[in-house]
Structure 1
C-alpha cells in the first residue's frame, strides 16, 4: 500500500511540476527593454504548467558567460527575439548554449525572421528548432499547449507573416508582470502596420490597425500609475490618420502632462488641426523624429515612398519652427537613383530648415522587405549579414557610400552637437554650398569613421576652416560658443575677448543667474561683434568653468564691412 501511494504521489508531482521557459532578452544597452516578453506572456498567461524565467543582457556582454547562465537555469524551452542589432550576438549565445544543453528546444522570433529570413535562419543555424514569422501573440499559446510534440524544425506560419488580429483589444503589455518600469523609458504601440509603400520597410503596405483613443488613454494611465515619465511610441507614422494624431496629442497634453513622448512623424501629413495641436504642446513634452529620407522626387518614386518633397520640406520647416519641442530629421544614403549630390543638397535643406539633429544612415536591405526581393533589379549590392547595409548602387560607387558614412560622422561631430550647431547654421547662411569643402577639410585633418575628436579639438578645427574663407558672422558665433562652453576667453576662437567690468544696465540677460553680478569676486569678459556685444560673468559659486551669466548688448552703430 505504501509503495502504491508513493508511486501515485510521484505521478501527481510530475503532473504538477512546471516546465521551465527561459526568455533571453539581448538589448542594445541596459537602458533598453523589449516588449516581446510582456506581450507574449500576456497572451499565454492562462496556460498552466509553465514557469517563465527571464534573463536580460546586452550585446556588449560575453556570449560564453551568457550561455553558462542560460545552462544553469535548466530550461526545456529557450525563446529569444532576433533584431538587426543583436542577431550575431544572440546566435553565438544560442550556439554555445546548444552545445551545453542539446535537449533544450530553441525558438526565435522578431524582425530577422520576417519573409525569407525565417528559411535562412533554419538553414544557417541548425540548433534553432522553431522560427516564428510575424506577430506571434496569436501563435504562441498553441505552441506551448502542444509542446513538445513539434517536429525537429519548423517555421510558424509556413507561409507569409502572421498578423495578430486581436491586437487592438488585447490587454496592454504594461499590465503584465514582466513589463519593465526600471528603465529610463518604455516603448508603447498605439498602431501596427502602415499603408505607405516604402520598399525598405518591413511594415510597408501592411494592414493598418489602430488602438482606440480610449484604449491608449487606459494604457497610458497604467504607465502613469507605475511611475513612467518617458514613452517612445513604436508607431510607424504617428500622424496618420491625421485626425487621430490630433486626438492623441490633445490627450497627451491634457491627461498626461508629466509624461514625455517620442514620436515618429511624416512631415507631409500636417494639416491645420495637427499644426495647431503641435503648437499647443507643453514645452519639452514631445520629441519629434521626422522621416525625410531623400528630397529628390526621382529617388522617392524609386523606393515607393510617393511623397511630395516640397510638402515634406514645408512640414519640416513648420516642425522646426515650434519652440516647444525639438525635431530631428532622418536621411538615407544608398537609395536607388540617389547620387552624392542629392545627399549634400538634402543635408543643406535640413540645415536651412533648422533641424535640431540630422541623422544620416546608410540604407539597410532588411529581410522580409520588397527591397530585398528587388535589390538585384534595382542595382543594389548590400552586405549579406547584419546590418545588411548597402555597399554600392548603380548611381553610387563604394567610394561614394564610404563618403556618405564619413559625412554622417562629420554631422555627428559638428552639427549634431548643441554647442556647434549654431556655428554650422551660421556657416550655411553665409555660404549654403559649403558642405563638400567642409567635409574635405575634415578628411584632410584625419576624419574617419572611428576617430574621436574632443570638443575643444572640434572648435579649433572649425576656427582653421573659417580662417580660410569669408565667414565673419560664423567666426563671431564660434567665439561666442567657445566662451559659453567654458573654454578660456582670450584664446582660440575667443581671442578677441577682453576683460571688462559689469555689463551696462541696457544689456539683456540671455542665460544664467543675474545674482552673480552682485558678487565682488565675479570676473567679466567682453566679446565684441559687428551687431552685438556679449558680456560673460564668471564665478565658481554659480558655475564651474562656465559662465555664470551671459548678457547681450545690441550695437547701435554696426561695424563697417
Structure 2
C-alpha cells in the first residue's frame, strides 16, 4: 500500500501536488490513498491515519509551513513501523543538503517535480530494489502528464478551495521566488485543461484557484480560460451573470463561480481588458505582486517591472472591473530601508483605495523570506542580511533595516490586515490617513498604538478592536463616532436595533443614526466613554 500525506496550513487548502502524484501512478493508483491533515492537528492521530492501511511506502510533501511538524511526524511513524519506506518531496527537501534533518529522516528525497519520478520510485521499492538517498526528478513533459483534477473527491469540492494549474514555471526571474529557478513556462494541453475543468463543474465545483505564476503571460491561453468560465457562468432572469460568494464562508450562491488568478501587474493584455469587466462583482480575485516600486531595488533582484504602468493597470482594474484585488508589497528587500518602503507604500495605497468609499483593493504587506535554493542568498553579505534560521526563514535585519525597525514593519503588516483589509474600518481609516502626513505615517502610528495597547497582534475580539480604533481616532483629535457608526453598519448589514454584538459605546449612536427621532432628542455624545 502507498500513502501520500501532508500537513496543510488550513483544511480549506486541498494539496494539488500530491494529487498530481496520484494521477500519474498508473497501475499503482488502486494501491494508493491520500491522507491530509493540518499543521494544527494532533500528530499522533495523523500518524494513526497514515499507518491505518499498513503502507509499505509513505510519501510526504514538505514546505516551509509544515517542516517542523513533519519532522516530528516522521519520528512517530518510524517508532511505530521501522520497515516502511519514507519518501520526501516538495520545496524543502528539494533544496535540503545531505546533513539536513529532513535528509537524515527520509529513506529517499525526490527533488523537483515528482509527477513521474515518484511512481518510478514506488515500482522499484515494490520490486525489492534499494533507492538512492536522493533522486533529482527530470521535469515531466506536461503534454503526456496526467492532470490531477479528477483526484478531488466530493467533500473537497463542497468545502475546500480547489487548486488547478494550466501551466508551470515563470517567465520572470525574481530572486526571492522559487519559480525563478524554473526557466520558461510549460503548459498542459489546453483542450485537456478545459475538459478537466468541465468535469469539475459538472460535479459541482465552483471555486477554482489557478496557481499559474503568470496567468496573463499567454494571451491565447488566458482568453480561452476566461471565455470558458464566462460561457458557463449562471445568469438570472434578466440575463445578468449572478454575483459570486466568499469561497470559505458557507458555499456558493446560486451556482456562481469564484476564480483566483495570479497576474503580472504591468501586463494588461487585450483579453483582460475586454473580458474582465464582464464578470460580476467579486467573481474574480486577482493576486498582483508589486513587491517594490523602487526600480533600483527591483533591478537588483532581477525583477523587471514598469512601476508607472503597474500603478495605472491597478487603478484600471479597480475602477473598471468587479475583481477583488490582492496587491503585495515586500518588507526587507536588499537595499530598501524604511524610507524606501514607505515611499512605495504611499504611492501604492491611493491606487488601492477608493476615496468615494467604493471597492478597495487589499494591500498585503509581506516579510521577505530566504527560501532555500533561491538566488537571493547572493545579497546576504553585501547587504548584511540576517534571516531566521527556522522556517519560514524571514528576514530579521538588513544593512538598511535594523531588527527593531523590521519588527515595527512586521507589526504594521499585521495591523493593515486586521484593519484595512478587513474593510471594517474604511471610513475611520480614511479620516486617519487624511489627517496624517502620509498613508505610511498613519499606519505606522496606528500599528505602534495598537501593538502597545494589546501587546499582541492576534486573537483580538472585534469589540476590543472597535474600542481601540475609537481611542486612536480621539488621540488624533478626531471625532470617532461618525466614521465608526457608519463602518459598523456597513460591515453588519441588517443589524437594525439589535444590541448583541454592538460595542457598548456605539449602541446609542447607532440607535440615533437609525432613528431620526432619537437623533433629534438633543443628547450630546461628544465625550462618550469607550
Identify the range of structure 1 (335-344 vs 493-502) with the bigger mean alpha-carbon deviation.
493-502
Q: 1:133 aligns with which of 111, 115, 137?
A: 111
> Who is 2:462 aligned against?
455
Question: 1:145 and 2:120 equivalent?
Answer: no
Query: Under a length normalisation based on structure 2, what TM-score does the superposition of the two structures give?
Result: 0.82
Q: What CA deviation, in whole Å up to 9, does each residue of 1:249-276 have, x standing for no partner?
A: 2222123453210111222111354223
Q: Distance in 1 between matches of 2:18 and 2:488?
A: 47
Q: What CA deviation, in whole Å up to 9, does each residue of 1:172-223 have, x standing for no partner?
A: 2122476843432211001100010100111115220123443332121011
Q: 2:422 aligns with which of 417, 421, 437?
A: 417
CA contact (8 A) 2:112 2:138 kept: yes
Q: Distance in 2 between matches of 1:457 and 1:177?
A: 40
> Who is 2:450 aligned against?
442
Q: 1:500 to 1:101 in 2, by over 3 A?
A: closer
> Who is 2:98 aligned against?
119
Question: 1:427 and 2:432 equivalent?
Answer: yes
Q: For 1:173-192, what aligned pairs fall within 5 Å after superposition?
A: 173-176=148-151, 180-192=156-168
Q: What CA deviation, in whole Å up to 9, does each residue of 1:98-133 have, x standing for no partner?
A: 12211111101111123x325354x65523011111
Q: For 1:29-108, what aligned pairs fall within 5 Å after superposition?
A: 29-47=10-28, 51-108=31-88
CA contact (8 A) 2:93 2:103 kept: no
Root-mean-square deviation over aligned CA pairs: 3.0
Deviation at residue 312 of structure 1 after TM alignment: 1.4
> Who is 1:172 aligned against?
147
In structure 2, stretches of 5+ residues that fail to align are 235-255, 354-359, 523-530
CA contact (8 A) 2:11 2:160 kept: no
Q: For 1:234-245, what aligned pairs fall within 5 Å after superposition?
A: 234-245=211-222
> Who is 1:284 aligned against?
282
CA contact (8 A) 1:186 1:230 kept: yes
Deviation at residue 454 of structure 1 after TM alignment: 2.2
CA contact (8 A) 2:261 2:285 kept: yes
Question: 1:476 and 2:482 equivalent?
Answer: yes
Q: How many residues align?
A: 481
CA contact (8 A) 2:451 2:457 kept: no
CA contact (8 A) 1:38 1:178 kept: no
Q: 1:445 to 1:220 in 2, by over 3 A?
A: same
Query: Under a length normalisation based on structure 1, what TM-score does the superposition of the two structures give?
Result: 0.78
CA contact (8 A) 2:463 2:503 kept: no
Q: 1:226 to 1:491 in 2, by over 3 A?
A: closer
Q: 1:178 to 1:129 in 2, by over 3 A?
A: farther
Q: What CA deviation, in whole Å up to 9, does each residue of 1:110-167 have, x standing for no partner?
A: 11123x325354x65523011111111121232222225444652112xxx63112x2
Q: Distance in 2 between matches of 1:201 and 1:126?
A: 26
Deviation at residue 37 of structure 1 after TM alignment: 3.0
Q: Distance in 1 between matches of 2:116 and 2:513?
A: 72
The structure that is helix-richer by fraction is 2
> Who is 2:253 aligned against?
none
> Who is 2:373 aligned against?
368
CA contact (8 A) 1:112 1:118 kept: no
CA contact (8 A) 1:27 1:86 kept: yes
Q: Distance in 1 between matches of 2:69 and 2:503?
A: 50
SS state at 1:291 partner = strand
Q: Distance in 2 between matches of 1:107 and 1:482?
A: 51
Q: For 1:399-418, what aligned pairs fall within 5 Å after superposition?
A: 399-418=404-423
Q: 1:207 to 1:385 in 2, by over 3 A?
A: same
Q: Distance in 2 between matches of 1:527 and 1:305?
A: 61
CA contact (8 A) 2:427 2:486 kept: no
> Who is 1:542 aligned against?
none
Q: Distance in 2 between matches of 1:466 and 1:177?
A: 48
Q: 1:467 aligns with which of 456, 474, 491?
A: 474
Q: Distance in 1 between matches of 2:454 and 2:148?
A: 48
CA contact (8 A) 1:260 1:284 kept: yes
Q: 1:40 to 1:483 in 2, by over 3 A?
A: closer
